[in-house]
Amino acid sequence: MDLPFFSKQKNKTKQTPESKIAEILAPSAMKINANFIQLGGKLCRVLFVFTYPRNLSTNWFSPVLTMDKELNISMFIKPAETHLILKQLRKKVAQVQSQISAQQEKGKIRDPILQTALQDMETMRDTLQQGTERFFNFGLYIAAFGNSPQELDQIENELRAAMESKLVYVKPATFQQEAGFTSILPLAKDALSISTPMNTAPVSSTFPFVSSDLSQNKGILYGINRHNNSLILFDRFSLENANMVIFAKSGAGKSYAVKLEILRSLMMGSDVIVIDPENEYQYLAETVGGSYIKISLTSPHHINPFDLPIPRKDERPGDILRSNIINLVGLIRIMLGGLTPQEDAVLDKALTETYASRDITPESDFANITPPLLSDLKTILGNMEGGQSMAQRLEKYTSGSYAGFFNRPTNVAVKNRLVAFSIRDMEEDLRPMAMYVVLHYIWNLIRSEMKKRILVVDEAWVMMRYEDAGSFMFGIAKRCRKYFLGLTTITQDVADFMASTYGKPIVTNSSIQLLMKQSPATIEIIQNTFNLTDQEKYLLLECNVGEGIFFAGLKHVAIKVIASYTEDQIITSDPAQLLEIEKAKEELTAEENQPTDNNLDII
């Protein structure tokens, strides 16, 4: 039977400021039912926990805390007098021991329930006596809100299922909803007084704030914390270095997450440079007004690997020249498929003479020089003792079929805030060399002018297959912090990347790691590299597209990458969506080009 419907009555007595505030906050009317309370147009049902299992694990209450429902939760922890608890435990221990002795005298078999109870009570007596734990009366109440009794029943069933999976049982406060509602209000008043005796350990396991939080006052939104639905707002430049590695299988959403970070970083003032192996960043670059440079043997864009950056005030020209020669030795070693120690020494000398042939020495002014070309090195090698073989092997890059990209002066100007270099149309065998040359050009650009930048190297495993290319990448990862640069390394072939000598050092020199869905073949490598628990391992095997684990410094959280509709249309890599966008663009173009008849019929 429903209780009467109560409404607020006008108080004729003089009101205090506190009573006026209470009058404003209180609902206009409240109806108390046996199983719920009606507050205006909203219904509320209060439930309480009445049974717990013998052991409670940390974070057992998380399924309720993260439930996407409107809930109010109250916890009442009332300390008990230790000497009274010890006195009661002594009596209980004596009773249980007496029962055990009586059963032994009758020849009955051992009762495991009594033995376990005795063991638990003795352990509790020891911890209480030593002061390592205390005893409490713990009450836990949950208020669910809905628009109808059916909705309340559905929420209650979900709560029961989540709690009973942990062997924790709840029931509604039937005919005590008013007292339950008072108990869940922020009044620190336990009107229900339904509690369970607990010691410190199980009480502490109910602590609600157990998920890591990665929210800062500045930075960009990387995604949503899957544990507590908080925002993962982070500034990668606030850490000791701004490097980031992303490991995921194909189709897990790694490029999507990177493009979303690029788009949001541009809004926060960062410049971005991308090495794109599959033309995935073209639409993004065109949309934001960036530059998209296609690198191939027939492309009009060329980069001269012999270019030298203009030294900054704190750098000496001799150091830059020496560093560039060392990097060129690594590039030519990849081109020629390896060098003997004798060829390595000859090549080092030949490179120095090649620069000298253009009057470039450690004392030169690099602002007024014309760098040599690869053909100049070939000429000098051909005239040096021990260099003829290398000159012949370089011929295909200087005058042969591969001369279109490697033997031309640089005609690329990087002026936009987003610049993407596409190497998709470069022959497969030349891709590692093209990535090396482009990275070398970008590194010289970064060294010549310090500004906030992000460098994205997609499919980095292509370079990591070669010792010199991996060494060059590792060198950038170590030194980029001094130039206000954050390096983002993306790979789907984790085995090849980590098998490289420089794979794990690049990971350890990256303060941020994003692990997304992994294949069973590589999950063991990932688990060992990042010291993942078994639970995190299975999460990476079973997570959906766009989900994973985000590491930032010493913290890590389960992440879900989420974009707005507009962002999604710009950065999507889904072939079905791309076809729809292309079809819409074609229809729009057709409408714009359709002739219109402006002649009016005069009647």
CATH of the domain at 388: 1.10.8.730
Structural domain contains residue 222: no
Checking if the pLDDT of 342 tops 80, the result is yes
- Work out whether the CA dihedral 476, 367, 407, 355 comes out positive or negative: negative
pLDDT digits 0-9 by tens, 203-240: 888 877 655 667 777 889 999 888 777 788 888 998 88
Residue whose pair of structure tokens reads 């926990």 in the numeric block: 49
Structural domain contains residue 224: no
Q: What is the per-residue burial (b if ≥16 Cβ within 10 Å, else e) of 338-348?
A: ebeeebeebbe
Same domain, 568 and 428: yes
> Based on C-alpha coordinates, what's the Rg of the chain?
35
Same domain, 283 and 311: no
Lookup: tokens for 518: 């992994």
Last residue of a domain, one of 204, 219, 254: 204
Q: Which residue blocks in 309-424 are alpha helix, DSSP H?
A: 317-336, 341-356, 374-382, 388-398, 403-406
Mean pLDDT score, 50-66? 83
Checking if the pLDDT of 171 tops 90, the result is yes
Indicate the pTM of the whole model: 0.65
Last residue of a domain, one of 391, 406, 421: 406
Which residues lie below 8 Å from residue 91, measured CB to CB, with a gap of 6+?
Answer: none
Last residue of a domain, one of 381, 406, 431: 406
Same domain, 564 and 514: yes
Structural domain contains residue 218: no
Checking if the pLDDT of 49 tops 90, the result is yes
Q: Who wins on pLDDT, 17 or 180?
A: 180
Q: Which pLDDT score, from 0 to 100, does residue 45 have?
A: 95
Share of the chain above pLDDT 70, in %: 93
Distance between CA 512 and CA 216 in Å, rounded?
Answer: 15
Same domain, 18 and 162: yes
Distance between CA 245 and CA 500 in Å, rounded?
Answer: 15
Structural domain contains residue 185: yes
Lookup: tokens for 205: 């396991």
Same domain, 344 and 398: yes
Same domain, 457 and 479: yes
Which residues lie below 8 Å from residue 46, measured CB to CB, with a gap of 6+?
Answer: 37, 141, 142, 143, 172, 173, 176, 177, 180, 181, 183, 184, 192
Checking if the pLDDT of 471 tops 60, the result is yes
Same domain, 530 and 418: yes
The range of the structural domain enclosing residue 334 comes to 304-406
Structural domain contains residue 163: yes
Same domain, 414 and 545: yes
Structural domain contains residue 485: yes
Distance between CA 81 and CA 483 in Å, rounded?
Answer: 62
Distance between CA 164 and CA 119 in Å, rounded?
Answer: 26
Same domain, 319 and 379: yes
Q: Which pLDDT score, from 0 to 100, does residue 548 have?
A: 92
Structural domain contains residue 327: yes
Same domain, 313 and 364: yes
Give the neighbor-by-neighbor strand order of the sheet with 512-516.
231-234, 220-225, 555-560, 547-552, 512-516, 244-247, 485-491, 453-457, 271-276, 418-422, 291-294
pLDDT classification of 5: cutoffs 50, 70, 90? very low
Provide the CATH number for the domain around residue 291. 3.40.50.300
Same domain, 518 and 387: no
Distance between CA 224 and CA 234 in Å, rounded?
Answer: 12
Same domain, 429 and 480: yes
Total domains in the chain come to 4
DSSP secondary structure letter of residue 282: H
Structural domain contains residue 325: yes
